[in-house]
Amino acid sequence: MSDTRLTLISHPLCPFVQRAAIVLLEKDVPFERINVDLAAKPDWFLALSPTGKVPLLKVSQADGEEAILFESMVICEYLEETQGGPPMYPGDALLRARQRAWIEFATPTMADAWQFLHATDRATADIKQAAFRDRLQRLEEELAAGPYFAGPAFGMVDAVYAPLFRYFAIIDPAVSRPIFEGLPRVSAWRAALAARLSVRDVVVEDYAERFREHLRQHRALIAA
């Protein structure tokens, strides 16, 4: 879409922003990125975002009209439908539907992981770690030969899960290692995603330290 300009409204730590940014980079689409402080949301941002959340994608068209898209997967699907570059879904309708189902599975998986990472007591941490591990086991059973979710081609499912796995490369390996033990396919997938240029380039250089500081501010047990 050479007649449009795209602006991704973002926050440096948001994993949902990263999904959209990964798709933009995979498709080699020029875009501007504007970060907002979600602790002190500016009025212009609140006027644009019905949910008060990021990401937003501002689509500026050649005729001067502007449209705002919100919700990360809505943005990702829009980019898939309108931009060139490699497809992020298979051509077969059944395979495409199955991949979208696993994208839906990412929502509770992210919730369990997030609650584990932010747990402030051992009982909650243990419950949420076990729940997250159970979800990883389901992914282990579904994964193809790799290196990516469905095989050799990087796709939308990969873009969705990559920001989640990034957290576990930042925290203490003594904490993250047992979660992935005995899950060779998930572990290989996680490593392949971490090495992907688009995945690496969507975060700021000091992302790891920012996230650690975020955990400290929330008094997370694993930050102690």
Q: Does residue 215 contact residue 118 with C-beta atoms inside 8 Å?
A: yes
SS (H, E, C) the chain: CCCEEEEEEECCCCHHHHHHHHHHHHCCCCCEEEECCCCCCCHHHHHHCCCCCCCEEEEEECCCCEEEEECHHHHHHHHHHHCCCCCCCCCCHHHHHHHHHHHHHHHHHHHHHHHHHCCCCHHHHHHHHHHHHHHHHHHHHHCCCCCECCECCCCHHHHHHHHHHHHHHHCCHHHHHHHHCCCHHHHHHHHHHHHCHHHHHCCCCCHHHHHHHHHHHCCCHHHC
Q: Does residue 223 contact residue 212 with C-beta atoms inside 8 Å?
A: yes
The residues assigned a catalytic role are 14
Residue 171, token pair as written in the block:
């925290």
